[in-house]
Amino acid sequence: MQNIVIFGTGAAGRAIYRALKDEFNIVAFIDNNPNKQGTKYCDIEIYSVQNVVNLKFDYVYLGGIWADEMEAQLLNLIDKSKIKVLDEKDISFSTPSRQVATDEIMRVLDGYFKEIKMDYFLCNSALISLLRGNSLSVVSDVDLYVMNYADLEYLARELPHFLGSEYKLNLRYVKGDAAVRTDGQIKRISITNNLLESIVIDIGLFDEYENFMVCDYDDGRYFYFPKEIFEGGFTRLEYMGFELNVLKHYNEYLEFMYGKNYLEMPKRFSSNDYLNLKTKAQLEELKA
C-alpha cells in the first residue's frame, strides 16, 4: 500500500482524505496554517509544508481551488513526479450529515430573509451545483450576497441571536487599501456549525465601482461584473422542496465568471480559471 501525504486540512484536504483513506496509507497532512501544525486530524499528524522534505512517502495529493498555488509551493521542495493533483470529479465536500445540515440552514436563512424583508441571492459554485441538480453541500462553501452594507451590519449583529448556540459566526474585516470599503469594515460573515464536516455559509456584499460591481477575493484581487447584471432584480429557484433567491440574470452572471459552459464539470478548476478576477490596478484600468 502506498504511503501518501495530503496537502491541506481544509474542506478540500478533508474531502481528499475521505476519498483516499481506504485505498492508501495516509502518513501525514501538511498545512500552511501555523495554528494547525503540530495538531492532528483523524489521529494523523499535521506538519508544516516545509517539513514535507523530512517525511517518508510515495506521493503528495492535493486538489481544490488553490491547487495551482499549492503545487507551485511544493515544486520548490520536492520533485514534480511525487505530486498528484486530483480532478474536480474526485473531490466531494459532502457527507450525509453535511447535506442535511446545509439544506436545513439554507431553509432557515431563506425564511429569515423573507421575515425581515431583506434581499439576498445565491451564486457562484453553490448555484452551479443547484443547476446541476446536486446538493449545495458538494461545494466547500455556499456564497450568499446581500445588497447593501447596512444589511451586512444588521446580520452581523442579529444573526447570532437568531441562530443560537448551534451555529458560530465569524466576521472577516477589510484590511489595508481596499478598492471600495474602508479599513475595519465588515467584509464577510461566515456561518459554521459543530459538525466534523462543518457547513460553511459565506454572506458578502458587492460594492459599486464605476460601471461595475466588485467583491474582494481575499488575495489582493477582486471579482467584477457589469452593473447591468445586478439590475434585473431576483427570481426564485426550487431546491430540495423549497426555493432560494438568485439574480434574475444569473445565467449572465455565471457566464461572465466561468464561461458559457459553466454547467460542465471541469477536469480541474483553480482560482486562476476565473474569468473576472482583477487586481486593484487592473480595476483602475477598466474604469479609465
DSSP designation for 210: T
155 and 232 both lie in a single domain: yes
- Report pLDDT for 197: 67
Contacts of 253 (CB under 8 A, 6+ apart): 123, 225, 229, 247
- CA 66 to chain CA centroid, nearest Å: 10
160 and 251 both lie in a single domain: yes
Contacts of 217 (CB under 8 A, 6+ apart): 223, 271, 277
Which CATH number fits the domain that encloses residue 176?
A: 3.30.460
121 and 193 both lie in a single domain: yes
Cα separation, 224 vs 211, in Å, equals: 10
- Report pLDDT for 272: 81
131 and 148 both lie in a single domain: yes
Q: Residue 32: what residue type?
A: N
- Which domain-ending residue is among 90, 123, 141? 90
**Among candidate residues 211, 167, 215, the one with its CA nearest the CA of residue 191:** 167
122 and 199 both lie in a single domain: yes
What global pTM score does this model have?
0.83
Residue 43 CB: number of other CB atoms within 10 A?
A: 5
Q: How many domains does the chain have?
A: 2
- Report pLDDT for 288: 63
Range of the domain at 35: 3-90
Cα separation, 236 vs 242, in Å, equals: 10
CA distances from 166 to 8, 11, 81, 96, 161 (A): 26, 20, 44, 18, 11
247 and 188 both lie in a single domain: yes
188 and 228 both lie in a single domain: yes
Q: Calculate the CA dihedral of residues 74, 78, 79, 80 and round it to 10 degrees.
A: -20
Q: What is the largest CA-CA distance in the chain?
A: 58
Residue 173 CB: number of other CB atoms within 10 A?
A: 11
- E strand or H helix at 209: strand 207-209
Q: Residue 205 in contact with residue 118, Cβ under 8 Å?
A: no
138 and 253 both lie in a single domain: yes
**Among candidate residues 143, 139, 140, 133, the one with its CA nearest the CA of residue 240:** 133
Going by their DSSP bridges, the two strands 221-226 and 25-31 should be labelled as: unpaired
Tell me the three state secondary structure of residue 182: coil
Cα separation, 167 vs 171, in Å, equals: 13
Going by their DSSP bridges, the two strands 207-209 and 200-205 should be labelled as: unpaired
- Which domain-ending residue is among 90, 122, 150? 90
- Report pLDDT for 198: 81
Spell 2-35 as b/e; 16+ CB within 10 A means b: eebbbbbbbbbbbbbbebbeeebebbbbbbbeee
Q: Calculate the CA dihedral of residues 265, 271, 272, 273 and round it to 10 degrees.
A: 20
50 and 114 both lie in a single domain: no
223 and 143 both lie in a single domain: yes
266 and 124 both lie in a single domain: yes
Tell me the three state secondary structure of residue 249: coil
- Report pLDDT for 77: 96
- E strand or H helix at 277: strand 277-279
129 and 256 both lie in a single domain: yes
Which CATH number fits the domain that encloses residue 39?
A: 3.40.50.720
- Which domain-ending residue is among 21, 56, 90? 90
Q: Residue 36: what residue type?
A: K
Q: From first to last of the 288 residues of the chain, give the pLDDT tens digit.
A: 899 999 999 888 988 998 898 899 999 999 999 989 999 988 999 999 999 999 999 999 998 888 889 999 999 999 999 999 988 778 777 888 889 999 999 999 999 999 999 999 999 999 999 999 999 999 989 999 999 999 999 999 999 999 999 999 999 998 876 778 888 899 999 999 877 668 899 999 999 998 899 998 877 889 999 999 999 999 999 999 999 999 999 999 999 999 999 999 877 777 888 999 998 888 888 876
